[in-house]
A = this chain, B = another copy of it.
Amino acid sequence: MSGTGEKRAVVLLSGGLDSTTTLAVARDGGLACYALTFDYGQRHRQELTAARSVAEALGAVEHRIVKLDLSAAGGFGRSALTDAIDVPKDGPADEGVPVTYVPARNTIFLSVALGYAEVMGSFDIFIGVNAVDYSGYPDCRPAFVQAFEALANVATAGAVEGRGRYVIHAPLIELTKAQIIRTGLALGVDYGLTRSCYDPVPDGGPCGRCDACRLRLAGFAQAGATDPLTYP
């Protein structure tokens, strides 16, 4: 549990491997963490349960799940993560933005996190984006994080009135998956609580074949560690 007087941070937490490691890094930095998870109709619903377990295990002060029903505005449209498009199982495409890209997702998530941070009096927002394994997602790159940070510092009363300067922390952005896993293991993260699969098997376990499972398994192998999850 966090003591009084700790600096507050808002941490975007999906319940996956990257955001869980990000929460561990923020806690290790002595921050009082307010975890924020989005329920946006994702097919991999076991993420939400995983996020609850992770927030508790890593000592978040609060964990909030925000339901975002954007079906009236295209519903994050045309993505294999929310629609009936098949999740690719034959490895990443060679180039371009993958079908699992969800339009403006991280922009919307960070915007809501910014409003939450402003209400909470926090100027530090953590997001577990990663440019090494980002598989072509435009909103996982350093240029995106920098642009959002610049926006936050002109968009909000707290920044404009000089009470603080927003920092968007993306501590994993230059790490390989293996480095992320080593970082988390060194901080005592139990990756058995996390979920990464885009298309879980009926009992909720990972499929082992989607891009997310492939990146995760390769990461554990390169880190010389064993994924505690059970694969088919």
Contacts and interface: CB of A to CB of B under 8 A. Distances in A.
Contacts of A106: 155
A107 B103 contact: no
A41 interface: no
Interface residues of A, number: 51
Q: How many copies altogether?
A: 2
Contacts of A101: 157
Interface string A103-121: 1111110111111101110
Interface of A: 36, 64-70, 72-78, 96-97, 101, 103-108, 110-116, 118-120, 138-139, 141, 143-144, 147-148, 150-152, 154-157, 159-161
28 contacts: A65-B72, A66-B72, A70-B112, A73-B119, A74-B115, A74-B119, A74-B120, A75-B119, A76-B115, A96-B161, A97-B161, A103-B115, A104-B112, A104-B115, A104-B118, A106-B155, A107-B114, A107-B151, A108-B108, A108-B114, A138-B156, A138-B157, A138-B159, A144-B151, A144-B155, A147-B150, A150-B150, A150-B151
